[in-house]
Amino acid sequence: MFHFLAFMLLFFLVAVLVAIGMAVWALRRGIGMFRSAARKATGGEGRGARARGSAAGGTGSARRRAQAPPGVTIIDTRDRATASRRIFADDEGEYVDYEEVK
């Protein structure tokens, strides 16, 4: 009977260790997902940013920050060709001198 109780205790300890390992794995994965989402939302570059093709030297979408009021972050995720494209044609949208009528 003592062997049976020792086996049950060993089985219980293994089950507890497996459960703790799974909980640690899930927690680390959740923290990693949270960090990558925060990096993506703030435009920060973390591990592997060069490998994914960021503005730090890759060929993927360029991330550029625009001027915004303090506390507001605007991130441009368009590719370089789209981001550098002109909005108006050369013959449109020119500034015109005008006189104010009083």
pLDDT at 64: 53
Residue type, 96: V
**Encoded tokens for 14:** 């293994």
Element (H, E) at 81: helix 80-83
Residue range 53-102, pLDDT digits in tens: 444 444 444 555 556 778 887 777 888 877 777 676 666 766 667 778 87
Q: Whose CA is closest to 39, among 75, 12, 69?
A: 75
pLDDT at 59: 46
In this structure, of 14-18, 46-50, 86-90, the range with the lowest mean pLDDT score is 46-50
- Position 83 scores a pLDDT of 77
